Amino acid sequence: MDNLKLFIFTAVIIFSTNGFSQWINLSYPDGSDVRCFAQTSSGIYAGKSYAVLRSTDNGNSWVSSNTGLTPTSIVFGLAESNGIIIAATTAGLYRSTNNGASWELSASGLPSPSLSIRNVINQNNILFISTSNQGLYQSTDNGQSWVITSLTETFIYTLNSFNDTLYAGSRFGRFYRSGDNGQTWSKDSIGTAQTHVRDFAFTDSTMFIGLQEAVYRSRDRGHNDFTRVFDSGIGGTSFELEALEMHNNNIYAGIYAGFKGVHRSTDDGLTWHNVSEDMLRFFSPDTVFQGIISLYSTGISLFAGTFGFGIRRTVNDGEDWELICLPNPSFKNIYTDQDKILAAGGFFYSYSNNFPNWNLHTAGLFGSANSIIRVGSYLFISEDASIVKRSADDGKTWYPANSGLTSGTVQSFTANGNILFGSAEGYGVFVSSDFGESWNVINTGLTNLNIKKLAYANGVLIAFANNEVFRSTDNGLNWNQVSNGLPASFNIWSSAVKANDFYVGTSSAGGITGIYWSDDGGLIWSDINPNNYNIQNTLISHGDTLFGGGLDIYFTTNNGQTWTEVTGSIGSVNSLAVANGYLYASLSLGGLSRIPLSGIAEINETENTPFTFQLYNNYPNPFNQITVISYQLPVNGEVTLKVFDILGNEVATLVDEYKSAGTYEVEFNAASGISDLVSGIYFYQLHAGSFVQTKKMVLMK
């Protein structure tokens, strides 16, 4: 089974401008396109676009640095020379004397400082670098200066070595070897090959040569004997090879396109088996996310660099793959689910308060994750192309729940108890009363089907479209337009509900951003953003507070009479959420940050909103006829509070509705419409999302 837990990362303080609070970056080094690895005396290094990652604990945790690197550079090769780390990039050759913390360009002797370099290798304390069209260079002073070698071939794609022999791969199946540290070279060729040599791998008796379209085996070190052992015919479809690696006496091939994944041969290349199906089962066949672009063996571990899906590691020859460095996504939506933050973007993540552990949940997901909601014991997520998925295990696995969804991508969810609503832009509103088993169109009265946001409160369902807002009081069976107070022309960005009030974030011509509020079920709207703060991207409520985010983040506790800025520059915000006493912000440029609510001026988290779910002891207890039950909710959501007898029979429902975060109390009258309620032990149970708590009380008549 694929282990999808991501390990330790480092929290980074982003900015603080007052004594109240500071933003903490919960993001992590981006492992989305690692193209090379190197084991050195100071750890494992991984090269990618505009960064080098370093791990000192065999890949469990990573730090990233790009200080000194050219922003457009891609790191294709890494090596060590006497404690100095060398990085071969598409924008020049770089050296680091401080374990990758910073980098400096090294171009002495090279034809251009920005020379595109394909690879670097240390052969007997001599550094060699290969280029795309300028030949092969060497350095004997740890990369400070370079001279061209005697090899006349100008295009060298890859470098490798075995038993003091250096190999250089070129075009059209040509490769070169040197047994005297690059002084002289001999040429060999796979005569029928049409593509260049991508990589080499060696055993004591066999040499493997990886070309773009096939793997060849040679029993005589590539002089004359070549056998094509792995190609598109074996795979059943075309593929593009990027890497070969020996690990525990087995040969592994990393395939980027076509027959993708990591393929292993345990019989010297005679047969091959895809050992990455568990790793990559989450994505549809036409996606490039599972493309393998690098392999690296060190000790008991085999590392795989993927295109867009992080770094994987196996310690049991590919039977299980561990995700050890995630891609850093831009989240479209974050959602509070009890004590967790659920984040949807190109992937679906959950984050709990025990920072810094993230979990990636993709089993059954295939597309870009858009909107998230919990209804009862199910989580729902929308993907592209009218696909909705449902999870009964807190997002670990997902299954289709889109029967009846005709077209369009569901952009927004809302719910009335167990009735789930979804909007598909261009196709109106859909409803499901059976937890997503089936959906029906409910568009009667909608004159604009480009519904972008939905919101529900106190028996009223609101559908927001550009330039129009619609209202329904019968769960969407009939709609009426309600745009009183809204501008003649506007675009919808966000919506929120606080208590029974509705809020919507808009933008209009001339850069006007509006936050509109309705306290009468959407009949009349008032602009509560007269200062034109750029906060329309996302709106959320928490207790008595409304937050708005965009280029800035502001909050109001008095429906816009005054707005207070949440200080600290973190950039443009996609989405906001509150959990465990923190305000979370997903960033447009990627990642997630948080700030403690207790440190934000004017928000008294202790007084306004609880930190955790809690069901309190009833009072009095024992009771004669009437007792009071109190409970607290840290987040908004559907809540039930029920009473059961000692046999488990339900005798009363005290609460069954949507509740905002806060502390509540409800009276239980044992003589109010309940027959045959005798003296004895009873139980009362609070159910809020996945939180369930039960307590005992005693009735004494």
Q: Are residues 571 and 600 in the same domain?
A: yes
Query: Which residues fall within 8 angstroms of residue 596, CB to CB, at 6 or more apart?
Result: 21, 581, 582, 583, 605
698 φ/ψ angles, rounded to the nearest 5 degrees:
-125, 120
Is residue 185 domain-resident? no
Is residue 695 domain-resident? yes
Is residue 458 domain-resident? no
Q: Give the residue carrying structure tokens 């592994």.
A: 252
Q: Give the residue carrying structure tokens 């014991």.
A: 377
Query: Which residues fall within 8 angstroms of residue 683, CB to CB, at 6 or more apart?
Result: 643, 644, 645, 646, 694, 695, 696, 697
Query: Which residues fall within 8 angstroms of residue 434, CB to CB, at 6 or more apart?
Result: none
- Please classify residue 607 by burial: count the beta carbons closer than 10 Å to its beta carbon, then call 0-12 exposed, 13-18 middle and 19+ buried: exposed
Greatest alpha-carbon pair distance for the chain in Å reads: 103
Parallel, antiparallel or unpaired: strands 358-360 and 311-314: unpaired
The 3-state DSSP class for residue 352 equals strand
517: its two tokens:
């509020």
Give the DSSP H/E element, type plus range, for residue 122.
Answer: strand 117-123
Among the residues of 236-377, which ranges form H helices?
none
CA 355, CA 479: separation in Å to the nearest integer? 45
Listed residues 588, 609, 630: the one ending a domain: 609
Among the residues of 552-692, which ranges form H helices?
605-608
Is residue 99 domain-resident? no
CA 129, CA 325: separation in Å to the nearest integer? 28
In this structure, what CATH number is given to the domain that contains residue 676? 2.60.40.1930
Q: Are residues 675 and 537 in the same domain?
A: no
In the sheet that holds 63-65, the strands lie side by side as 36-40, 43-48, 51-55, 63-65
130: its two tokens:
């290969």
Q: Are residues 522 and 585 in the same domain?
A: yes
- Please classify residue 399 by burial: count the beta carbons closer than 10 Å to its beta carbon, then call 0-12 exposed, 13-18 middle and 19+ buried: exposed
Q: Are residues 601 and 505 in the same domain?
A: yes
CA 118, CA 380: separation in Å to the nearest integer? 45
5 φ/ψ angles, rounded to the nearest 5 degrees:
-85, 130
564: its two tokens:
């207070």
The 3-state DSSP class for residue 401 equals coil
Determine the structural domain holding residue 580 and report its residue range: 11-28+344-360+486-609
Is residue 547 domain-resident? yes
* pLDDT given at position 589: 74
Is residue 116 domain-resident? no
Compute how many other C-beta atoms are within 10 angstroms of the C-beta atom of residue 136. 26
Give the DSSP H/E element, type plus range, for residue 573.
Answer: strand 573-579
CA 476, CA 431: separation in Å to the nearest integer? 8
CA 454, CA 461: separation in Å to the nearest integer? 7
Distances in Å between the alpha carbon of 167 and those of 157, 220, 230? 11, 14, 21
Tally of CA atoms within 13 A in the half-sphere of 248 that contains its CB: 12
Q: Are residues 692 and 660 in the same domain?
A: yes
Q: Are residues 503 and 639 in the same domain?
A: no
Predicted TM-score (pTM) of this structure = 0.67
Q: Are residues 603 and 637 in the same domain?
A: no
Listed residues 561, 581, 609: the one ending a domain: 609
Give the DSSP H/E element, type plus range, for residue 233.
Answer: helix 232-235
305: its two tokens:
């660099």
Give the DSSP H/E element, type plus range, for residue 235.
Answer: helix 232-235
Q: Are residues 502 and 591 in the same domain?
A: yes
Listed residues 609, 633, 652: the one ending a domain: 609
Q: How many domains does the chain have?
A: 2
In this structure, what CATH number is given to the domain that contains residue 501? 2.120.10.30
Compute how many other C-beta atoms are within 10 angstroms of the C-beta atom of residue 359. 18
DSSP 41-64: TTEEEEEEBTEEEEESSTTSS-EE
Q: Are residues 552 and 639 in the same domain?
A: no
What is the mean pLDDT for each group of 10 consecutive residues in the chain (701 residues)? 35 34 73 92 94 92 89 95 97 96 95 94 96 93 96 92 94 93 94 83 94 92 90 62 95 84 92 78 43 93 88 91 75 76 72 57 65 88 82 83 84 92 91 94 94 94 95 96 92 92 92 92 94 92 91 91 83 87 83 79 51 78 84 85 89 88 83 73 88 87 75
CA 314 and chain centroid, separation: 21
Taking a C-beta distance cutoff of 8 angstroms, is the pair 470, 479 a contact?
Answer: yes
Which residue type occupies 422? G
Q: Give the residue carrying structure tokens 């070595």.
A: 161
Q: Are residues 510 and 599 in the same domain?
A: yes
Q: Are residues 596 and 572 in the same domain?
A: yes
Is residue 54 domain-resident? no
Distances in Å between the alpha carbon of 441 and those of 386, 405, 477, 494? 13, 8, 9, 23
Q: Are residues 581 and 505 in the same domain?
A: yes
358: its two tokens:
């993230």
Is residue 505 domain-resident? yes
